[in-house]
Structure 1
Amino acid sequence: MEQEQAPERRNNNRVLLIVALFLVLLGINGILFYMNQQKAKQNEQLTTDIKAKDVKLEEQIKQYETLKGDFERQSQELQGMGLANDSLEAKIASINADLLKLRSFRAGSFSIADQKRFQQRASNFERQLRQKDEEIAQLKKDNETLFTETQTLKDRQNRLSDTLTTVARSNQELSEKVAIASRLQAENIRIAVINRRNKEDDDDDNEFRARKVDKVKVTFNLSRNDVAPKETKQIVMRLLEPDGSALYNLSTGGGTFISEGNEAFYTAKQEVVFDNTRQPVQFVYAKGAEYKPGAHTVELYADGYMIGKTSFTLK
């Protein structure tokens, strides 16, 4: 009886052992499954963290690239205004160095400490950027004000120049008018001839015998002129023969003078102090040879301008 129960117990024990082993294996599989689940979650979290870090890194790089572009814009604006921009060039160089460091990070190696450090630097750059934008805006405003003031000054200068030109032109015209008005005039011009016996002969018709003429006498008055200054005037006489040539002799006081820009010969000259009293002036000319028959002309000049003219005839 006991011998029959022994195999049955052994079979039961074997079943129990198999069940226990199955349960142990099942537990081990459960533990392994749990550990795999946890590791998968960890890997998934790690992947998420790496992606987040990579996103932060890309955002940081883009932020620095934007800062670089803004500082380059400011540099160009200052150059356009003709101003030095050494400080901006230094900032651009510093941003380029930071960009080089940011781009050197491997995937997932951009730590929180790195993020904070570069974000702080970026914040400082942004603050400096805003300050410089305000300075540039003020400079542009000041330049516009200065341009407006300069343009106003130029307009005033142009108007003043125009006014001065007008005044100068008016003064020149006035001076010319005064110069013309101040010209002397000869009046009451009379011709007389003197023979070799020093006897004088005059004729209202101004006709004389040529063979009796030794000297020609010209008398006249300087007419009143309240504009002309009271000063010494050089009076020039030209005695023109019938052929139009002027009688002149260096030994008797003849020579050349400038009349209205042209050089001409004169017969005689003398200096007179004009006193505005209708003072008389007289020329006596001796040719020293026989006079040619025909119409002779007497021209009188002062300051290079003709002040009187008459003629006489020698028969």
Structure 2
Amino acid sequence: MKVKTVIIGAAVVIIALIVSFVFILRRERATFAEQTEIMAQESKDRMQEELTKLAAEYDIQYQKLSSGQSGEQRFSLATDSLISQILAERAKVEQLQKELKSNKATSAKRISQLEGEVSTLRNVLRSYVVQIDSLQATNARLRAENSEVKANYERATSHAQQLAGEKEELTSRVKLAAKLDATAISVTPLDKRNKRTKHIGKITTLSIQFTIAKNVTAAVGNKTIYCRIMQPNDELLVKPGAGTFAFEGKQIPYSIRREIEYNGEETTLSMYWTVEESLQSGTYQIRFFADGNLIGHSAFVL
């Protein structure tokens, strides 16, 4: 009986120990599972926060490329490829965010994989930041160079325009200085005896005297002097078949023409108008032209 009692007691103790061990094992398993779940959730929360930051940083880099800073134009067509890559990586970030929110990632293995993918996305982002910063620096340098070239061009253009204006002004001055000058103009009405007369009905000739002033700047050689005599009614005294000469882009008729040899010295000349029409009483205007310029004018009264 004693032996049997000892055996039964030992069995009870063993059973009690087994039950206790099972209970403790289950509790430890539950605790471990709970801790594992907590750790997994913390990892997921940490990754979600990291993904949110990544998404924001990818958006920043995209904005840099797509619109530039201060409303500037996009850098170049070469950035289109980089923009596509950034958008693709941004989509991966969004996909991981969705997976974490949907609680599909539960195993330690998957969480470890996700951590690796997040790390990869971070490294890729760093490479994009380097490329974009390089693009911005290059673009800033090119803009500065372009601004400098533009400023130099504008300065050169302004200087060229100034020189052209000065040249034009100098040319005008030279032309003005070279223009002949008819002075001391006088008109003497003559009768048929070549005597001065005051009777308009007896005038047969208008004797016109003038002087071409000395001008060492004017070109020497053959010169044609044209004279226009305007009557009081503003009609030109002109002979039938008379020619024209160029003045201010037009061909205009003349009353008298004379060829001279001009040597730059003061030259006194005479011209004569033979009266074949009825002269009007009043003030006559007389003008002289040479080399396409008006060189002198005066008036006389009959």
Task: Indicate yes or no: 2:135 matched with 1:147.
Answer: no
Q: Which residue of 2 aligns with 1:200?
A: 194
Q: Which residue of 1 aligns with 2:288?
A: 300
* Kept after mapping to 1: 8 A contact 2:242/2:253: no
Structure 1: gaps spanning 5 or more residues:
1-12
Task: Indicate yes or no: 2:15 matched with 1:28.
Answer: yes
Distance 1:93 1:185, change over 3 A: same
Per the TM alignment, residue 47 of structure 1 is displaced from its structure 2 partner at its CA by 0.9
Structure 2: gaps spanning 5 or more residues:
69-73
SS in structure 2 of the partner of residue 228 of structure 1 = coil
Normalization by structure 1: what TM-score? Answer: 0.74
1:237 to 212, 215, 227: 227
Letter paired with 1:309: H
Normalization by structure 2: what TM-score? Answer: 0.77
C-alpha distance in 2, partners of 1:298/1:64? 98
Per-residue CA deviations over 1:262-309 (Å, capped at 9, x if unaligned) read 998753345667553445544322231243455544332345654233
Letter paired with 1:298: I
Paired residues for 1:48-59 under 5 Å: 48-59=35-46
Per the TM alignment, residue 92 of structure 1 is displaced from its structure 2 partner at its CA by 1.6
SS in structure 1 of the partner of residue 215 of structure 2 = coil
Letter paired with 1:70: E
Task: Indicate yes or no: 2:67 matched with 1:80.
Answer: yes
* Kept after mapping to 2: 8 A contact 1:185/1:308: yes
Task: Indicate yes or no: 2:209 matched with 1:216.
Answer: no
Task: Indicate yes or no: 2:217 matched with 1:227.
Answer: yes
Which structure has the bigger radius of gyration? 1
C-alpha distance in 1, partners of 2:38/2:262? 113
Distance 1:230 1:124, change over 3 A: farther
Distance 1:291 1:151, change over 3 A: same
Per the TM alignment, residue 123 of structure 1 is displaced from its structure 2 partner at its CA by 2.3
Sequence identity, in percent?
Answer: 17
Per the TM alignment, residue 77 of structure 1 is displaced from its structure 2 partner at its CA by 0.7
1:62 to 46, 49, 56: 49
C-alpha distance in 2, partners of 1:38/1:165? 98
C-alpha distance in 2, partners of 1:231/1:129? 86
The alignment's C-alpha RMSD in Å is 3.6
C-alpha distance in 1, partners of 2:63/2:283? 89
Q: Which residue of 2 aligns with 1:8?
A: none
* Kept after mapping to 2: 8 A contact 1:254/1:268: no
* Kept after mapping to 1: 8 A contact 2:287/2:298: yes
Letter paired with 1:110: S
* Kept after mapping to 2: 8 A contact 1:68/1:95: yes
